[in-house]
Amino acid sequence: MEKYCLGIDIGGTSVKFGLFDMDGALLEKWSIPTNIEQNGIHILPDIAASVNSKLKNRKITPEQVSGAGVGVPGQVAEDGTILFAENLGWVHVPLTRELSRMTGLSVQAENDANLAALGEIWQGSAENCHSMIFVTLGTGIGCGIVMKDKILSGANGAAGEIGHMHIEDNMTEQCNCGKYGCLEQLASATGLRRLGKMELEASEEPSLLRRSEVSAKTIFEAVKKKDALAIRVAEKFGEYLGKALANCTCVLNPEIVVIGGGVSKAGVVVLEYIQKYYRQYAYPPCVDTEFRLAALGSDAGIYGGAKLVIEEN
């Protein structure tokens, strides 16, 4: 009877949808813009309308849909209430209850990074693994942890916030979280740009980075062309992230670390700089933990949403 499930990934600019069969095959994906006006009160009705019309067009009844797994960029309580999602303007939004009422579907909610991790371990780069740390290097640093095939969400949904691990004592700029010296300030896309600018300002040394906008992309392009200044930036980035991940693996001892997000698009060179320092700082029994690049890109969240439904059935 139940033949389908939905994975839904709510982002600050768009909401992605995936319709899956219960064997985990992606049948169709689509997206709608995220309307964050008025503290995001339109987001859930927009999602419900899109789901309802898609199902109607495909002549699928709600009874044929096993459920929807929804990823949210924020802190999710066990009862499916979103405690806080800054980019959506949400505070205490009873997502699962509301979306279930509007669609007639069973709905589960999870932090978006956790859901992406679940997607990657299910059908992505960590397929056949049972434990992983998944790190997304974008504007900020997201992280989802899977142990024994289950998301590790913590006592109040704040597990995996390695972007706010303290990593630099000499940081005078404040992080969004209110602290100083968080990993996210130094090893996200934003952090790479900051490190690049600091290095450029510290000397008059010629560099390819003086001719273009400084970004994660241009930094790693310059690294590939053996630009000495860009290489120093990549070394610093690698040391911050390698050290932080060594701190994580001695706590969690996962099978694999997967790196995704915009910065990872530069390719294996990113892993090389991270692993160089990771191996220096890692607890010896964890030194050989495997590192891979993410495989599902921005679809990881919808895969994770579907998996959340399928593993309950």
Indicate the residue among 253 and 313 with the shorter CB distance to its own copies: 253
Does position 131 interact with its own copies (CB under 8 A)? The reply is yes
Pairing mode of beta strands 65-72, 4-10: parallel
Return the HEC string of 2-25: CCEEEEEEECCCEEEEEEEECCCC
Give the DSSP per-residue string, 126-153: TTT-S-EEEEEESSSEEEEEEETTEE--
Q: Is the Cβ–Cβ distance between 90 and 36 less than 8 Å?
A: no
In angstroms, give the least distance from the CB of 10 to its own copies.
20
Tell me how far, at minimum, the Cβ of 171 lies from its own copies, in Å. 12
* Phi/psi of residue 58, nearest 5 degrees: -90, 5
Residue 76 Cβ vs its own copies, minimum distance, rounded to whole Å: 12
Nearest approach, Cβ of 262 to its own copies (angstroms)?
A: 22
Cβ pair 304, 266 in contact under 8 A: no
Q: How far is Cα 94 from Cα 83, in angstroms, rounded to an integer?
A: 9
When asked if residue 147 is in the footprint of its own copies (CB under 8 A), the reply is yes
Would you count residue 243 as binding its own copies (CB under 8 A)? yes
Binding mask 63-92 for its own copies (x = CB under 8 A): ------------x-----------------
Q: Where are the beta strands (DSSP E) in the chain?
A: 4-10, 14-21, 26-33, 65-72, 75-76, 82-85, 90-93, 107-111, 132-137, 141-147, 150-151, 256-260, 290-293
DSSP state string for 210-228: GSS---HHHHHHHHHTT-H
Specify the 3-state DSSP secondary structure of 231: helix
Instruction: Kindly determine how many residues on this chain lie close enough to bind its own copies according to the rule CB under 8 A.
Output: 37
In the complex, the smallest distance separating the C-beta of residue 177 from its own copies, rounded to whole angstroms, is: 6
For its own copies, the closer CB: 18 or 144 = 144
CB contact at 8 A, 300 and 293: no
Smallest distance from its own copies to CB 265, Å: 25
CA distances from 10 to 17, 27, 81, 250, 305 (A): 9, 19, 14, 32, 11
Binders of its own copies among residues 150 to 169 (CB under 8 A) are: 152-162, 164-166
Report 244-263 residues binding its own copies (CB under 8 A): 246-248, 250-255
Max Cα–Cα distance, the chain, nearest Å: 69
Stretch that binds its own copies, among 134-142, 148-156, 267-275, 302-310 (CB under 8 A): 148-156
Per CB under 8 A, does 144 bind its own copies? no
Nearest-approach distance from CB 165 to its own copies, in angstroms: 5
DSSP assignment letter at 162: G
Q: Least distance in Å: CB of 255 to its own copies?
A: 4
Chain positions 32 to 51 lying near its own copies, rule: CB under 8 A, are: none
Footprint of its own copies on 265-294 (CB under 8 A): 281, 283-286
Query: Nearer Cβ to its own copies, position 102 or 287?
Result: 287
- Which residues would be at the binding site for its own copies (CB under 8 A)? 75, 130-131, 145, 147, 152-162, 164-166, 177-179, 243, 246-248, 250-255, 281, 283-286
